[in-house]
Chains A and B, each alone.
Chain A
């Protein structure tokens, strides 16, 4: 029964008032004609309020004539009447449809490309690769074959092991797995020399195969042969072998800095100013004046892509520009202070270069100062294995 009422709501129904002396007869006739009535209310002895669906209402008229009742429509309800009300507001409906079609059309494009999984390779490089393959924000999703793009990228780059493009909504996620570069392994059968990777002073040569060319205390340049890939026998003459061995050497790492004694230093005052602008592709609309009121300031720009739901990105960006005020402060250091700053700077830099901290043998600091600045040079002496194999090319 509830289903019938629900259907009546979708198809439309009317609330009518039936006025007459033989309302019972009217009701019985409706029953025999199989007209569904609901919510019958007797208002007065001669008036009754009834709900009837639109379809049945037309048939009611003949019954009403037979029973000499008068029918008056009180209320129209249901979806057909609801839509009918909006028939006059054509522009409203047209705009509504345009908005829906617009959203649907926009959702067929890719508006955001996210690159995941890069570590060594710069994201910009991948972006450029994608651009070259015509895969950039604003690309239509229909007829897009990600397989082709993936193949193109894999052909162009050796250091990418796997590429996956996942499209969810208007957001494309490019997943990249980097390949480890294979070290050049020279097979045992081939002849090779052992050469230096860095400029260094030899401390120990232990050749397992081949003829050592350098002695302890020799200073070698990068690329010069340490252990030759040949053996000389009394009777056999010279023959080539696959050289093997380890060469330890002292390597120097050094760096120089100039630290002026008088410096101007930036000191943030804590005053900030936020300005917003809307960016559509390359077209920018500033919501406020772009120029800051501060005299000295840093600008920090942040862009945020607008999105409707979790992954429906719109081609609109909101750019937030933050101005941070700072003051220039004159700072003068003493000699020792300046020296310490310089040493700290260099050691930090050198520590990044040296992989094995235990192999550092010696640290040397040289300084050179004038009235205006201090020049500091720090030299690290590190013991390292500098041997690598290099194929002999005849």
Chain B
């Protein structure tokens, strides 16, 4: 019973958002990752920086962890919810929280 109630509560705003066509990243805390070319990357709605190195960036988000591999990675701009990464990006991979649990 309690599980179904929770689900109902979760799904209700989702339906409204779908009707109003509100973008998902605005209505929820899901991160939005935009890759521009091979050398620029914009991450919105991130939580914290776990690790920052020249060749490796590890970010935590609400739904998991985001890893960026590359060379000469710089953080051009850093605000509370935006992060602009420049440099030669090799690969991006995600670690879902639900997988760990």
Contact = CB atoms under 8 A, between A and B. Distances in A.
Contacts of B95: none
Interface stretch (B13-21, B24-32, B51-59): B51-59
Main secondary structure of the interface of B (DSSP, over half): strand
Given A24-B50, A40-B74, 5 more contacts: A5-B77, A31-B49, A37-B78, A40-B76, A42-B54
B52 A31 contact: no
Contacts of B68: none
Interface in A3-44: 5, 23-24, 27-28, 30-32, 34, 36-42
B66 interface: no
A38 B73 CA distance: 13
A34 B77 CA distance: 13
A38 B76 contact: yes
B48 interface: yes
B53 A27 contact: no
Given A1-B77, A27-B78, A40 B53 contact: no
B29 to A, nearest CB: 15
Contacts of B48: 28, 31
A353 interface: no
Interface of B: 48-54, 73-80, 82, 84
A80 B73 CA distance: 31
B52 A27 contact: yes
A2 to B, nearest CB: 9
Contact of B78 (A5, A32, A40, A45): A40
5 contacts: A31-B49, A32-B80, A36-B77, A42-B54, A42-B74
A31 B73 contact: no
Contact of B53 (A5, A34, A42): A42
B59 to A, nearest CB: 10
A27 B76 contact: no
B78 A38 contact: yes
B77 A42 contact: no
Contacts of A42: 52-54, 73-74
A216 B82 CA distance: 113
A337 B48 CA distance: 111
Interface in A166-221: none
B52 A23 contact: yes
Nearest to B82: A1
Given A38-B76, A39-B76, A40-B75, A28 B53 contact: no
Contacts of B73: 42
Contacts of B78: 27, 30-31, 36-38, 40
Nearest to A33: B80
B80 A24 contact: no
Contacts of A1: 77, 79, 82, 84
Nearest to B73: A42
A38 B83 CA distance: 10
A31 B78 CA distance: 8
A40 B82 contact: no
A31 B48 CA distance: 8
Contacts of A30: 78
A333 to B, nearest CB: 94
Contacts of A24: 49-52
A38 B80 CA distance: 12
Given A40-B74, A42-B54, A28 B79 contact: no
B74 A39 contact: yes
A5 B50 CA distance: 25
A27 B49 contact: yes
B87 to A, nearest CB: 10
A358 B82 CA distance: 96
Contacts of B76: 38-40
A193 B74 CA distance: 108
B80 A34 contact: yes
Contacts of A5: 77
A87 B77 CA distance: 33
Given A27-B49, A28-B49, A38 B77 contact: yes
A1 B78 CA distance: 10
Contacts of B82: 1
Contacts of B49: 24, 27-28, 31
B79 A36 contact: yes
A39 B77 CA distance: 6
